[in-house]
Amino acid sequence: MNRRLLFLLICGILAPLALRGEDGYRLWLRYEPVANPDLRRQYTEGLGRIVLATPAGTESPVIAAARGELRAGLDGLLGTMPAIRVEARAESDPAVGTEGYRLEIKVQEGASVVTIAAARDAGVLRGTFALLRHLQMHRPISELATVSAPRIAHRILNHWDNLNRFVERGYAGFSLWDWYHLPEVRDRRYRDYARALASIGLNGTVLNNVNANALILTPEYLRKVAALADEFRPYGIRVYLSARFSAPIEIGGLKTADPLDPAVQAWWRAKVAEIYTLIPDFGGFLVKANSEGQPGPHDYQRTHAEGANLFAEALAPHGGLLLWRAFVYAADDKLDRVRQAYRQFTALDGQFRDNVILQIKNGPLDFMPREPFHPLFGAMPRTRLAIELQITQEYLGGATHLAYLAPMWKEVLDAETYAAGPNSTVARVVDGSLRPPGPSAIAGVANTGNERNWTGHPLAAANWYAFGRLAWDHTLSSQQIADEWARLTFSPSPRVSVPITRLLLGSRETVVDYSMPLGLHHIMAEGHHFGPGPWVVARRADWSSNYYHQADEFGIGAARGPTGSNALADYAPELAARWGDPATCPDELLLWFHHLPWSHRMRSGRTLWDELAVRYQQGVESVRALQDGWEALAPVIDEERFTRVKSLLRRQESDARDWRDACLLYFQQYSRRPLPAGVEPPAHDLATYQARKLRYAPGHPGDY
């Protein structure tokens, strides 16, 4: 039978079954058949021949991966396979840089030819995924021509995975890395993971937890790491490791880890050389030091710069990168926790080696549902800075709640720092536009696990996808990315993609409203961080909720102006002036910076108490709207994913009501005011919520 006829027959047979059997494993790389005959004809004719053009013009492992992806994608989409040729293209193309690509479509000798050209093989692979993405979204072939290059050089996933396969703050099962069976046994998922990263423009992965185990640097485990590096290399993905500062003591037999000790320096040089012997394209180290009990240079009265430079100097001869986390705070430091990193690092500006990048969380506290951007982004002009975003939803409902995070990340990336005058956004600080020439980086804490659909919640993969797309091009809009993901993951039909995009776009604000509205922060339950806990009093003040909300009979909110901790002084004068006045401070950050009376009049005309209660109610109602929106998609979503999301949204509504009721009852003790009209009465008394215990929550090993 003619192959084209067979393909049409198969499409006709499968069309009624298109809503069955979707488990989410294929993510956004589904390559479903193009059923529209006119569009399929347009694609088939437009893809008469495909040329993969690089300076070398040879069939490298990366080019082989690109060719394999084209075969899989075009066979799935069209049931045809055009001729694919690899050609040398000598001319340079500044527009694509070292990792970008150019897609061209021309008619040569009466046939349509699509060329994917790049300066390096990895760029051809990126262009291959861009071509297939274009076809999956059913866009006209005439709009194919494009030039694209990454704005940030190092685009890295951070895995908080332990060697026992437990994932800290992981909500999608155990680690992808089966350390016990490596290096001999290599799961198919390793290649599919690398494909997923490459398809959205990522080029690096940190395999292990920032709370590192020194064993990862032993020969036994380095051979396992090398096996993963071999799996990822054809997709242009470099591996990195989190290094434990005290490794020279724990696995090296030294009595000190002092960064200025010659024996320690020699140990790290030898260890790095050992790694590069096994993994020639090793990316470098990520280090968490002197934070939350981790060892670091302060243990030896050394600075963060001296600690970071120890690693940087060992990595430099091999081209390695050192990412030093700026998430530092201490129990014995009486300074406002959100100011501690600023105080520790600003005095070190300009003291770091050229291959050091400070990796800074998006906000000054800890991945809260909403924070102002971290003040370090506007305060270290002579230091290279990376932003760390949390894809896994530690404070936004784990993989139980729907929260599309691109709007949150765009809020930070587009924020004005005034670091070098106007148009000094966080994004321009991170991409190197406002820093000395050198490497740039962006990191995302992964939300992946070994569950079949990778991320637990069927819609949570949108955040993995969004991180990659923003890492490649931070000018993309949240809506554009959501629309892409919905089309690729569910259907290119607007009947499906438009409602899903709408659900995604408002979901993060929904979580903010029912959990920590108006700038409230760190009022979650202890340990696992799931659910409300404004009453939590922990063994450390800075782990206690009242350290942050400061609720009393007068009012609520953190006093961070001149009469409080003065955290406002860490920002540019333009921002300090705007945020320091309750009249001009955005409602979204009001209680982050101000302790205000319950009677304070809000922009809405309501009192602060009434506004707080209305926001909590609004969050609950928004979850109900999400449920209604999803229910309307029943006829066009496969049963497996539809049912799973429906049940999770039902749980999310229950959790949202608990957040609303518990928080309002707790704060009502201080406000002594009634709930305003329209706010539903709590289902239980405060003692009931305080007595609840959530046992063995995912992502946290404790019994809470």
Instruction: Choose the final residue of a domain: 127, 148, 169.
Output: 148
Q: What is d(CA 302, CA 348) in angstroms, rounded to the nearest whole number?
A: 12
If asked whether residues 523 and 639 sit together in one domain, one would say yes
Q: Which long-range contacts (CB under 8 A, 24 or more apart) does 256-263 make?
A: 256/300, 257/295, 257/299, 257/300, 258/300, 258/302, 259/297, 259/300, 259/302, 259/306, 259/307, 259/309, 259/310, 260/300, 260/302, 260/306
698, amino acid identity: P
Q: Does residue 416 carry a catalytic annotation?
A: no
- Domain limits for position 353: 154-476
At residue 176, the 3 state secondary structure works out as coil
| Residues 345, 326 contacting (CB under 8 angstroms) | yes
Within-domain flag for 483: no
Q: What is d(CA 101, CA 78) in angstroms, rounded to the nearest whole number?
A: 24
If asked whether residues 274 and 291 sit together in one domain, one would say yes
| Residues 199, 29 contacting (CB under 8 angstroms) | yes
Within-domain flag for 579: no
Q: Does residue 292 carry a catalytic annotation?
A: yes
Q: Does residue 394 carry a catalytic annotation?
A: yes
Strand partners for 111: 108
If asked whether residues 538 and 517 sit together in one domain, one would say yes
**DSSP symbol at 323:** E
At residue 104, the 3 state secondary structure works out as strand
| Residues 429, 374 contacting (CB under 8 angstroms) | no
Largest CA distance in the chain: 82
Which residues have a Cβ under 8 Å from the Cβ of 429 and sit 6 or more positions away?
377, 378, 385, 417, 419, 435
If asked whether residues 92 and 222 sit together in one domain, one would say no
CATH of the domain at 70: 3.30.379.10
CATH of the domain at 672: 3.90.1330.10
Within-domain flag for 83: yes
At residue 85, the 3 state secondary structure works out as strand
If asked whether residues 159 and 128 sit together in one domain, one would say no
Q: What is the tens place of the pLDDT at every residue in 254-276?
A: 999 999 999 999 999 999 999 99
Instruction: Choose the final residue of a domain: 148, 174, 189.
Output: 148
In 10 A of CB 235, how many CB atoms? 25
Q: What is d(CA 233, CA 195) in angstroms, rounded to the nearest whole number?
A: 10
* Helical segments of 108-202, H only: 121-136, 188-199
Residue with tokens 């999770």: 648
Structure tokens at 249: 């003591």
Q: Of the residues 23, 220, 292, 703, which is catalytic? A: 292
**559 HSE (CA, 13 A, CB side):** 12
| 49-54 vs 111-117, strand pairing mode | parallel
If asked whether residues 17 and 162 sit together in one domain, one would say no
Say how many residues make up the chain. Answer: 704
If asked whether residues 140 and 170 sit together in one domain, one would say no
Tell me which residues of the chain have a pLDDT lower than 50. Answer: 1-18
Report helix, strand and coil shares of the chain as percent, to nearest 5.
Answer: 45, 10, 45
Within-domain flag for 696: no
Q: What is the tens place of the pLDDT at every residue in 611-659?
A: 999 999 999 999 999 999 999 999 999 999 999 999 999 999 999 999 9
Beta strands, E only, 259-411: 284-287, 321-325, 356-361, 385-390
If asked whether residues 260 and 365 sit together in one domain, one would say yes
| Residues 666, 479 contacting (CB under 8 angstroms) | no
Within-domain flag for 570: no
In 10 A of CB 180, how many CB atoms? 10
* Helical segments of 534-638, H only: 546-549, 573-580, 590-593, 608-631
Number of domains in the chain: 3
Q: Of the residues 394, 526, 542, 638, which is catalytic? A: 394
Instruction: Choose the final residue of a domain: 115, 148, 181.
Output: 148
| Residues 567, 364 contacting (CB under 8 angstroms) | yes
Which among 590, 510, 583 is positioned nearest to 549, based on CA atoms? 590
Within-domain flag for 507: no
If asked whether residues 72 and 201 sit together in one domain, one would say no
Q: What is d(CA 451, CA 32) in angstroms, rounded to the nearest whole number?
A: 22
Which residues have a Cβ under 8 Å from the Cβ of 505 and sit 6 or more positions away?
404, 407, 478, 479, 482
User: Helices 37-46 & 61-78, crossing angle to 10 degrees?
Assistant: 150
Q: How many helices (H) and strands (E) does the chain have?
A: 21, 15
In 10 A of CB 280, how many CB atoms? 12
Within-domain flag for 279: yes
If asked whether residues 176 and 286 sit together in one domain, one would say yes
Annotate 12-59 with DSSP letters as a single string: HHHGGGTTS---STTTT--------HHHHHHHHHHTSEEEEEESS---
| Residues 497, 487 contacting (CB under 8 angstroms) | yes
What is the radius of gyration, based on Cα positions, of the chain?
A: 26
If asked whether residues 199 and 342 sit together in one domain, one would say yes
547, amino acid identity: Y
Within-domain flag for 577: no
Give 224: exposed, middle or buried? Use CB within 10 Å, 0-12, 13-18, 19+. Answer: buried
Q: What is d(CA 196, CA 489) in angstroms, rounded to the nearest whole number?
A: 13
If asked whether residues 141 and 158 sit together in one domain, one would say no
Q: Of the residues 178, 299, 333, 366, which is catalytic? A: 366
Structure tokens at 704: 């809470």
CATH of the domain at 237: 3.20.20.80
